[in-house]
Structure 1
Amino acid sequence: MTDQKNLILTIAISVAILFGFHFFYERPRQQAAQAELQRQQALQVEQGQVPSTVPQAGTIPGASDGMGGAARERGDVLAENARVRVNTPSLHGSINLRGGRIDDLTLAKYNTTPEKGSPEVVLLSPLGGADPYFAEFGWLAAGGPAVNLPKSDSIWTASADTLTPGNPITLTFDNGEGLVFERTIAVDENYMFTITERVRNESGSALNLQPYGFVQRRGAPHTSGMYILHEGPLGVLDGTLKEFKYKDLKEDGKTETLKSTGGWIGITDKYWLVSLIPDQSAPIEARVLHQQVGGDLYQVDFRGTQAITVAPGSTAENTSRLFAGAKVVSLLDEYSDKLNIADLNYAIDWGWFYFLTIPFFHALDFLGRMLGNFGLAILAFTVVLRLAFFPIANKQFEAFAKMKKLQPKMEELKKKHGDNREALSMAMMKLYREEKANPLAGCLPILLQIPVFFALYKVLYVTIEMRHAPFYGWINDLSAPDPTTLFNLFGLIPWDPPSFLHIGILPLLMGITMWLQQKMNPSNPDPVQQKVFMLLPLIFTYMMASFPAGLVIYWTWSNLLSILQQWVIMRRMGVKPT
């Protein structure tokens, strides 16, 4: 009976884990995904608050900007000031010549939905619309006499009207007091901006300056609401990954200050990253802060801690970078290696099982590129996993087959001992010893597959390579749940059931394969446990209905391969499969 209790405990823990995923992760994920879609669509007709843009000299600008006024549509806000257009294979948008801010970017390769013609994902937005999100660079005065530095409302002149890869633009600002500031902005074909700040001193007196950069986000950021995924400020500073939750920053009200040489700091969403990358050889002081300025304001920034002295008649410069785009793993790795940026791929939340998640991703990515479809990659990867688990699975199925072979003897013992459960338990244990059978031998492979399941779930959920990846037929997004549902006969009835009634074709197939596999296993002598096992396929079918389609495909295909392997082993051991 102790073994039976342990078996029930194993099953209960597995079910509890999956229920937890469903109610605390998957349901919030679906709700947040819908909210994000509505937000992206709403950015076409902006609603928000218009701030003033008057920073305090001598401090990093941005956090002191006020909020107030009524909102205008995005197009009206963008048309308010002269701009330099940004046009690359990966980015569309513009740079505001008022303040020289990078505050208008959309992602040319990513759309809000898988449907053709869907709007591009909006990443950065200007002050004056909903969800302002922008980056700014410049100089701070490091002591000495007051210096008239460019501010957030300063008007710059541009050397060209369009920024493209291979054709940088230079912004110029003359303070009228002998200082000429130049900002050269270059961009590659992906998501990396290089910002070179120069100051030419013709004032007749020396001055000390410090470079700075900040990324600011206003309003309540739209997140997926998933506890297994970090969204918010983060960075690698002094060789250590630092993560900050929006909620904690808002509740604590503290400004987090960190010192580092090089590194990076930014704000991450599930799939997107906007990150400051200072000179990797320069010492900096980085900050993460939240303020209530007519609404929520989140900011990450840095300033160089070593002042640069600009003598009369000389020029000083500083180069920083800005990553603003999609968290493509190969691209982040390439930037880390090419530009010597420490651990930029840590912007992707690989999770506790990173030692599985990272190799799983690379295997799926390789198979996806080779086969031309990530759904096929999942099928191929499942075969690889089954081969890796083959020796363990063989022992599992041999144990099941042996238990199946003992089924007639177990039924005889039940008839012999009737309701005397203690005597039945003793007789069962004796039978197991004599036949060298272990009823728990099949539990170990199940437990070993739980971290594999979580790691694969993480890959499908957090990596952008899976986003909107189609399979075949009705599955046009492997990272989203099966869109069909039993309760409108898979689209035959013109009715959209509520989310809790969405049980698609793939989860049903998964439940059927689980039931078939269960029927091949030896039945439990305890009638209570038999009923528990009978309910499991129904419970898992309902829970898996809200999981990404790619994960359900993996589970279903894995069940089918297990059924085949178990059938072969049972035939080999002379046990007739049910």
Structure 2
Amino acid sequence: MENNRNYFVAILLSVLVLIAWQFFYVSPKIERERQAAEMLQEQQAATQPNATGTDTVTPGTVDGSAPGGETALPGVVAPQAGLSLEDALAQSERIVIDTPSLSGSINLTGARIDDLLLKEYHVDVDPQSPRIQLFSPAQQDNGYFAEVGFITDAASGPAPGPDTVWSAEPGQQLTPDSPVTLTYDNGSGLVFTRTISVDEHYLFQFEDTIANSSEQTASVAGYGRVTRFYRPDTQGIYVLHEGLIGVIGDEGLQEIDYSDVEETPIIPQPKATAGWMGITDKYWAAALVPPQGAGFDTRFAYFTDGRTRYQADFKTDAQAITSGNSATTTTLVFAGAKEVPVIEGYQDQFNILNFDLMIDWGWFYFITKPMFWLIDYLFRLFGNFGVAILATTVIVKLIFFPLANKSYVSMANMKKVQPKLEELKAKHGDDRMALQQGMMELYKKEKINPVAGCWPVLLQIPVFFALYKVLYVTIEMRHAPFFGWIQDLSAPDPTSLFNLFGLLPYDVPSFLMIGVWPLIMGITMFIQMRMNPTPPDPTQAMIFTWMPVVFTFMLATFPAGLVIYWAWNNTLSVLQQGVIMKRQGAKIELWDNLAGMFKRKDKQKT
């Protein structure tokens, strides 16, 4: 009995730690994220672009370090305080980008993609809120861009880099049906011709042809980089990676946090002939795919030489272009939303090594990915992600029905032999060894597995985690509505018991945001636990009583879709357990437990 009491005291202490973590960490973190989102919305509302500027050229300089350890690239441009996006765009000649998914422009200085708006995504669930601005010019505090250029030896003359102003025929516009062509003549016999194309989603293709009309062999290496001049607010939790990322040949997936690269400013990778690299956010990413099959060096870097910035870049091996000949290379640039079918489509179409790992499926991807495909299929069937989650719960229940059925049968049989267990306890008294032997003989005779009742809970844990990952990391769940007040299944229930679900005209602290669905989940969990006899041990009984309350507070900050899943799963479990117990002739303790609670309250009053 003492060991049993200590065990449940340990559980209680663990629960108290979770409550403290919720109160002192999760709730303040959610409040900070809310404030950051409001600030972002205000900023983007003030700088919403029109992406049509084509004014005079004012070449800028960015970055100071070329990939592969070179120092040929120019210095760093300082941000211009208070500079609006429109004014920044007007400082250089540009080619407009217009696709079903993107709008923005290409800066002819550096042929850099530094102005990109995601047409289909807004800052928050309100369709009138600003759209997501992914890339911004380097002159702004939130500068962020992708660039592809070249490096030559001294004898070959200059190569197009960050400060190069490419030539373009006037009136060009980049659309899925109309690529654009840029040219640069270095004056030493090398002419660079660049054709940029884009699809209807988020992939740009840079096809570069270098023609050598000089009398000597030219040595030309390519580079590409994704550079970010600020550190964004991140979720900061272990289930999601945000920061620098890539798949580098045999080294596989590399996930570099912002803090990691700040501690180690240059993180080089072994030479590879396949892979990709970039910077990822929760729902968006920018990535480079170097020419595959040829050797390239990769690094993840953090620079503080005049202006802090984070960078993922590559540098290809130099190729020799003999006199009178030319060479062509193709580099892919992804910049947009991490939509699962789009990402996997690019992986298959262009044979990009493990490009699907841009989405953080986690270690249990073999559960997470099938869970996503099932929910996505049901969504396309029913037209509502919430209904798809309910249907997924039923399917998962059916898959595990045989094992869960055996577990509930064993639990029912355990209830039936309770009188015999009490007789054994009275018979053996304090002889614990004899009591254990008698119990094992009884279990064997009655064909009972005393731990079988744990299986339904244990099976629910990986499914719960997989669903949590799907709801948390996949953009398909972002701003996906259910019914009524749930307009975003990836966000917590926005209602609260403590202002009567919005009837009272005041806001409540984030740790008191106990919405309707968390309450439903808590009630279903309470009913499920009351289906079993109340434990005789006082500590165990206290945990038995308070566990639904604790879980109600804990899950209130989880995505609403996850809470809906848990509540619906509890409901199905109660029905399943009740049917099985009735068939086995075991008593359902629910009504007696509820009546006992009211009797105890009446006794306390008297």
Q: 2:209 aligns with which of 198, 211, 222?
A: 198
Aligned-residue offset at 1:434? 3.2
The question of whether the paired residues in 2 share the 8 Å contact of 1:192 and 1:322 is answered with yes
Q: Give a deviation string over 1:60-94, Cα, whole Å, max 9, x none.
A: 77684243553411221112222111100111111
The question of whether the paired residues in 2 share the 8 Å contact of 1:229 and 1:270 is answered with yes
Q: Give a deviation string over 1:159-191, Cα, whole Å, max 9, x none.
A: 343110020001223334444322211000011
Mapping of 1:360-371 within 5 angstroms? 360-371=371-382
Q: 2:284 matched to 1:275?
A: no
Residues 51 and 194 of structure 1, relative CA distance in 2, 3 Å threshold: closer
Counterpart in the other structure of 1:450: 461
Question: d(CA) in 2 for partners of 1:57 and 1:459?
Answer: 38
Q: 2:164 aligns with which of 148, 154, 164?
A: 154
Question: d(CA) in 2 for partners of 1:295 and 1:347?
Answer: 28
Choose 342-351 or 400-409, whichever is displaced more.
Answer: 400-409
Counterpart in the other structure of 1:487: 498
Counterpart in the other structure of 2:268: 256
CA-atom RMSD, angstroms? 3.1
Aligned-residue offset at 1:403? 3.5
Question: If the length of structure 2 is used for normalisation, what is the TM-score?
Answer: 0.86
The question of whether the paired residues in 2 share the 8 Å contact of 1:67 and 1:293 is answered with no
Residues 457 and 68 of structure 1, relative CA distance in 2, 3 Å threshold: closer
Question: d(CA) in 2 for partners of 1:281 and 1:51?
Answer: 34
Question: d(CA) in 1 for partners of 2:514 and 2:294?
Answer: 55
Mapping of 1:466-505 within 5 angstroms? 466-505=477-516
Residues 30 and 568 of structure 1, relative CA distance in 2, 3 Å threshold: farther
Question: d(CA) in 1 for partners of 2:14 and 2:378?
Answer: 30
Mapping of 1:142-541 within 5 angstroms? 143-145=153-155, 147-159=157-169, 160-239=171-250, 240-311=252-323, 313-406=324-417, 422=430, 430=438, 433-434=441-442, 436=446, 437=448, 439-541=450-552
Residues 497 and 551 of structure 1, relative CA distance in 2, 3 Å threshold: same
1:131 counterpart SS class? coil
Aligned-residue offset at 1:2? 8.7
Counterpart in the other structure of 1:130: 141
The question of whether the paired residues in 2 share the 8 Å contact of 1:111 and 1:120 is answered with yes
Amino acid in the other structure paired with 1:229: L
The question of whether the paired residues in 2 share the 8 Å contact of 1:60 and 1:140 is answered with no
Choose 38-47 or 461-470, whichever is displaced more.
Answer: 38-47
Choose 427-436 or 196-205, whichever is displaced more.
Answer: 427-436
Amino acid in the other structure paired with 2:490: S
Counterpart in the other structure of 1:38: 39
Aligned-residue offset at 1:322? 0.3
1:524 counterpart SS class? coil
Counterpart in the other structure of 2:595: none
Residues 76 and 527 of structure 1, relative CA distance in 2, 3 Å threshold: same
Aligned-residue offset at 1:224? 1.6
Residues 341 and 101 of structure 1, relative CA distance in 2, 3 Å threshold: same
The question of whether the paired residues in 1 share the 8 Å contact of 2:79 and 2:141 is answered with no
Aligned-residue offset at 1:426? 6.7
Residues 443 and 140 of structure 1, relative CA distance in 2, 3 Å threshold: same
The question of whether the paired residues in 2 share the 8 Å contact of 1:29 and 1:224 is answered with no
Choose 364-373 or 507-516, whichever is displaced more.
Answer: 364-373
Question: d(CA) in 2 for partners of 1:483 and 1:237?
Answer: 42
Choose 530-539 or 167-176, whichever is displaced more.
Answer: 167-176
Counterpart in the other structure of 1:564: 575
Aligned-residue offset at 1:299? 0.8
Aligned-residue offset at 1:297? 0.9
Q: Give a deviation string over 1:5-24, Cα, whole Å, max 9, x none.
A: 69749966995897699576
Amino acid in the other structure paired with 2:368: T
Residues 77 and 182 of structure 1, relative CA distance in 2, 3 Å threshold: same
Amino acid in the other structure paired with 1:265: M
Counterpart in the other structure of 1:110: 121
The question of whether the paired residues in 2 share the 8 Å contact of 1:63 and 1:297 is answered with no
Q: Give a deviation string over 1:300-337, Cα, whole Å, max 9, x none.
A: 111111423142x4433211110111111111111111
Question: d(CA) in 2 for partners of 1:557 and 1:14?
Answer: 26
Aligned-residue offset at 1:117? 1.7
Residues 237 and 378 of structure 1, relative CA distance in 2, 3 Å threshold: same
Residues 428 and 568 of structure 1, relative CA distance in 2, 3 Å threshold: farther
Aligned-residue offset at 1:404? 3.4
Residues 427 and 102 of structure 1, relative CA distance in 2, 3 Å threshold: same
Question: d(CA) in 1 for partners of 2:7 and 2:406?
Answer: 17
Residues 576 and 347 of structure 1, relative CA distance in 2, 3 Å threshold: same
